[in-house]
């Protein structure tokens, strides 16, 4: 609304100092997320400081989102590799246990049984940790990163709609459409919420 009334240059102080901005101060959750603030302010800088067209800005924002997505996914990918490797460690433990067992054949049966049990426990632990703990943790981290990145797509859509000249309510409707159905508010609920926002 401010940009439509006063032009994008009216946002320059807010963009340059978002931590001190009264505009961003109205949204403490957004202001607290420095990655999101950087994304918004970088985009607004381009909109303020140049006559960039929406079709020129969109690929740039897509590259930024791809980079952010890759960085957000890196921890879960590392955890997935660890999860994939743990059953292999279990197999190595089993093979070493069998080698030790073979060396003690002919000796006390209790000792042989202990070696076989050790080999089986190593295999069990590798599989349990890989598929029972680390794998699910990696999946949860990936889902969380995916969920956290949804806001960037919504912001990108809203800012591009503003740059294309749509009024703020329509731009927000475009952004609402990018949300997954399980968190997307109904049109009427969203409209009612916008009426209550000053």
Query: pLDDT tens-digit profile of 92-127?
Result: 988 988 898 888 888 888 888 888 888 899 899 999
Helices and strands counted in the chain (H then E): 10, 0
Dihedral sign of CA atoms 128, 131, 135, 139 in order: negative
Dihedral sign of CA atoms 94, 96, 99, 100 in order: negative
How many C-beta atoms lie closer than 10 Å to residue 131's C-beta? 14
- Rounded to an integer, the average pLDDT of 5-16 is 84
Tokens (6 digits) for 188: 């009427």
pLDDT at 11: 86
How many Å apart are CA 98 and CA 120, to the nearest integer? 9
- Per-residue pLDDT for 196 more than 90? no
- Per-residue pLDDT for 134 more than 90? yes
Query: What confidence tens digit (pLDDT) does each residue in 48-103 have?
Result: 877 788 888 889 899 999 998 999 999 999 999 999 999 998 999 889 888 988 88
Residues 6+ away with beta carbon under 8 Å from 24: 14, 18, 30, 31, 37
pLDDT at 198: 61
Q: Where are the domains of the chain?
A: 52-196
pLDDT at 79: 96
């Amino acid at each position: 609304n401010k940009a439509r009334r006063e032009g994008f240059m009216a946002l320059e102080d807010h963009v340059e100092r978002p931590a001190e901005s009264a505009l961003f101060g109205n949204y403490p959750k957004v202001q607290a997320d420095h990655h999101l603030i950087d994304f918004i302010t970088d985009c607004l800088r381009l909109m303020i400081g140049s006559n960039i067209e929406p079709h020129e800005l969109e690929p740039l924002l897509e590259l930024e989102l791809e980079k952010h997505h890759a960085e957000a996914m890196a921890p879960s990918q590392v955890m997935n590799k660890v999860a994939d490797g743990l059953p292999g460690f279990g197999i190595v433990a089993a093979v070493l246990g069998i080698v030790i067992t073979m060396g003690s054949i002919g000796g006390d049966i209790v000792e042989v049984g202990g070696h076989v049990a050790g080999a089986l426990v190593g295999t069990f632990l590798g599989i349990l940790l890989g598929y029972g703990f680390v794998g699910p943790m990696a999946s949860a981290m990936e889902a969380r990163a995916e969920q956290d990145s949804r806001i960037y797509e919504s912001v990108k859509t809203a800012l591009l709609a503003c740059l294309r000249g749509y009024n703020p309510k329509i731009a927000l409707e475009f952004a609402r459409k990018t949300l997954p159905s399980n968190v997307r508010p109904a049109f009427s609920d969203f409209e009612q919420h916008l009426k209550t926002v000053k």
